[in-house]
Each structure stands twice: as C-alpha cells, then as structure tokens.
Structure 1
Amino acid sequence: MSRGQATVIGFSAVALWALLALFTVGSAPVPPLQLNAICFAIGGGIGLIWVALTEGFGVLRRIPMKVYAFGTIALFGYHFLYFTALRLAPPAEASLIAYLWPLLIVVFSGLLPGERLRALHVLGALIAFGGAALIVARGGVSARAEALPGYGLAFLCALTWSAYSLVSRRLGEVPTAAVAVYCLATAFLSALAHLALEPTLWPAGISGWGAVLALGLGPVGLAFYTWDVGVKRGDIQLLGTASYAAPLLSTLALVLAGVAAASPLLLLAAAMIAAGAFLAAMASKLKKGASD
C-alpha cells in the first residue's frame, strides 16, 4: 500500500465522522455513554468478523497487552472526556477546544521519525482550524469562569486523540486488527460508566435503531480502522489538516437532511478549510521533493 493510498483511506474516517452528528440526532433519546457502549460493541463486532475472515484470531494473541491498554484508554478516555466537557461547559466552546487535535497532530508530527514539519503545515492547519471555528462556534462564544473545568477537560480531550494518533504512528508494526479489541474494551468501560452516571433510555422506533446501527458500522466503527491505517502509513500532517473538513461535512450532512439551515458562513468555512488543506499538501510535496 502506497503512502497516498493510506492517506485516502485515513481521510475516509474523516468523511465517516462527518455523519456522526446526523446519526446521533437520529438516535435520541439514548444517553451518550450508553450510545457509546452500543456503538463500540457493534464496531468491535464487525472488527472481529473481519479478523476471522482475514488474518485469524491468532494475530490478536501476538499483540502485547500494553498496546491494548493504550488503545482502550485513548478511545474510552477521549469520549468520556468529551461528553463530560460538554456537560461542564457551553457545547460550542468545548467542541472547539476539543477540535484542537488536528492542529496538535500537525505541530507534534515533526517529532516523529522520518517526518519534517514545515511552516506551511502549521499555517495550513491554523487556517483550516479557523474555518472549522466558524462552523463550531457560529452561534457565538461566551467564555465563563465557571466553565473552566469543562474547557480543561476539552483540552485534555484534544491531547488524548492527538497523542493516540501520533503514538499509533510509532506502533506501525501493530496490525489494525488490534482496533477491534480497543472497541470492545471501550464498549465495556462505557457500559460501566453509563450504569453509574446515566439513566437507561432506548432508541425510539426502527429509525432510531437504524441510526444507532449506522453509527456502530460507520463513524463509531469502520472509521477507527481506516484512521489507524491512515496515521500509520499515510501522510499524517496532511491528514491532520484535512481533518478540519469533518465539521464542515457534518454541517452539510445536517443541511441536506433538513436538520440545519444553510448559510453563507459555510462557503467561507469551506474555502478556508480547502485552502488550509492545499497549503498542507504543498508542504508535503515540498518535503517529498527535498527527500528525493
């Protein structure tokens, strides 16, 4: 698999995450941690089926327990921190802070072996972040002192996902099959947290269950496998910058579904995200040319 192919596969995760909001709306009134438990169980289940049909379960026994612990802590930790941050701080501000993870991936990718960070990478990531900020905080921001704990958790959320992505790059020899175990362990921990912190509510009707199933198969399932391929074998700096397309695509999906209204702001955000991704791609091209 070439670096370019792996990057495209990795970006498919971003495209799937763009459907997260739409399907989450359809899954109401299921609480976040309960939804997490159900969806990660589905995502882990399809992973086990894929492992059984390809490499066989023997590949899972050869993966060290510390790798499983790392992946589980990252997946469960990210989602638990995110949901808690949204409870303690205004959702727009918390989401925007949490969405610093692509920028952190780009900035710290220069520490990875064989990677070189250029100014265009950082500039592209900053411009793309600005485009994402227009969408996430389009209702306005109003920082409040009492929300500081939530802001802190949101930043920890960003650190968790960026660290997971960067360390996964260092674990390039670990097969993507390991993600199936990450998902199942995350489902188990989410179920425990749900029972301790939330009421149990089930999806409303067939459409609600369909939304939950779609979440488990796509944004909270396949996406984690394709992201693993992308960050391990693809252009991680370009992937980090291009990840800012997720809130844009998510909003567009809501508009097409009639859940949200279109606005001129979307065009500006799209232009900024595209410009940021273009600059990151140019930087990667320059980096490749310098190494040839």
Structure 2
Amino acid sequence: MATPDDDYDSPWKSAVLRYFPEFMAFYFPQAHAAIDWSRPYAFLDQELAQLVRDGELGRRRLDKLVRLATVAGAEQWVLLHLEVQGRRESAFAERIFCYNYRVYDRYRRPVASLVLLADQAARWRPGSFSYRLFGCRVGIDFPVVKLMDYADRIEQLLCDANPFALLTAAHLLTRQTKGQAHRRRAAKWRLTKLLYQRQWDRQRIIDLYSVIDWLMRLPPDMEARLWRGIVQMERREAMPYITYAERIGRKIGLQEGLQEGRQEGRQEGLQEGLQLGQRQMVELLARQLNKRFGTLPPQLGERLVVADSEQLGRWAMALLDAASLDEVFGDK
C-alpha cells in the first residue's frame, strides 16, 4: 500500500523557529558553544525578504537568518544563515555563497552559513564554493550536517533527551518506510508513545507531534486507527494534550485556507477550501467546526479523516446554516 507524498522542508523550519537553541546543540554543537544564549536572538524574516528582493535572486529563498551574540563578545552581534535542504540541487553551494555575501553586504557583520541536508543522495555533500581568476581566489567553506548519517543510530536517537534527536529519528523512519504504510504506522505509534513518556510540557508535546505527524503521513484509515490509539492513551494516562483540531490544524495549507476564509467571508472561504485538495479540505473543515461548536469529539474527527471529498463538501455546506454538530453530520 502506498503512503501519501512526503514533505520534509516545512516541518523542520517550524521546529527550528520554536526550539532553536536545541536545534543548534544537536546538529552544530561547536557553534552552539560559541553563542551567548543569555542574550536575546532574533529571526530576521522581514529583513530577509527584503534582502532577497533587493538581490534579484528570483525564486531562490534563504531559509533562516538569525541575529545573535557570541560568548567572545568581540562583536555586538553576528549573523547566522541557516539552510535546511531536502533535495539535491546542482548549484546549491553557489547559492550559499551568494546568500552569504548578500547578507554581509547588507549588514557588514560576520556571517556564518550552516547547512542541514535532508536528502537521500549519499555522495552529495556540498561544503564549499570558490573560483580563481588572475591570482584572486573568492569562495566559502561551510559546515554541513547530513541526516542520513544518523541512519544506523536510530535506537540511540530514541534515547536522546534532545527533541531534535526524536525528530531526526522520525525523518529517517519516514524515509525508510516510504511506500510501506503498515511499517510507517507502527513506527509513528512508537514515536508518539515515546513523546508522551518524555514528561515534557504540553506545548512542546503538541509542537513536536505536529512535526512527526506532518512527516509521517498515512492513508486515512491508518490515520484514524492511530488517532484512536492516541485518544485511548491520553485517557489512560490522563494527559489530554493533542486534540483533534490541534492535530490537523498544523498541516500543510491550513493557514492559507484560513486566511482566504477570513478575507472573503465564511461562505466564500469555505468554497475556496473546497477547491483545495481533500487533505486541506479536512483541515479547514475541522477548524471551522471547532471554532463554531468547540472541540470535536474523537469519533467525529475520525469521520472527517476517512470521508471522501463529496461527503466533505456536503458537511461544509451544512455548516453554513447548522446550529449544532448533529445538524452538520446529519445525525438528527
């Protein structure tokens, strides 16, 4: 049985924003040790967007730019350019060189470029770019970490307290179970149980599960089976962390659908949602139901997951005038 298409870049970027110090400690410990974490750091998203436009770099996009301080204290602040790359790209090293220079040219501060590679090409390890002309050498060398290098250490990763060890294991198990839905469901269930056993705070569990859920996609019937297990586990452990709306509300396309709904009005927003793929339809409809009627009961969440697009469309139209969940789902 085939599994849905996999997505690797977006979940990592979300996790990096939320748990940046842990990210650096796990993948780039030398850089982590040189950063003064007692001082605030800032992601320069707006400045980054302007920098890319000014550089006329087209569709190429720098992942993250962070302003931070070092323990050496020689500079008031420096810049860290971080790239998370999920697929092989022939001109990747040259792109890193261009971004690094553009950042330096804009801020006139030291810039370090760090790269995390999430692809499957074992021999592809771009770590430098340079050229020589008339005795002049220009170039860059940058640290690279490759996720597939952890493939023989999955059990060790599962015992590591750093959240990115668990996410690295999730990434590797997603790769290893591509096209094998039953194996993936078993691996995802194991990771979910481990997540609950870590005794982390509720928000961290929700955030990290959302990444695991995003990475390890399953066919609808297996998603429903897994969700039943999570509900039972939460009841048994008295840990009601991941509600159905929170779970699916963090998937691909939700923010786009919600933004369209807010701008165009409830009915037009629903119609736009219906034009998205079936997966996005489920996400949008679940959030709308949750907003109107409160947290969805697990059994209704399961019905959304396994429904076809025609049924989802009927429920979406019923939501426009319904006064209760019973009226939406036709139970009365």
Structure with greater contact order relative to length (CA < 8 Å, sep ≥ 6):
1
TM norm structure 2? 0.26
Based on CA coordinates, which of the two structures has the bigger radius of gyration?
2
- Structure (1/2) with the larger strand percentage: 2
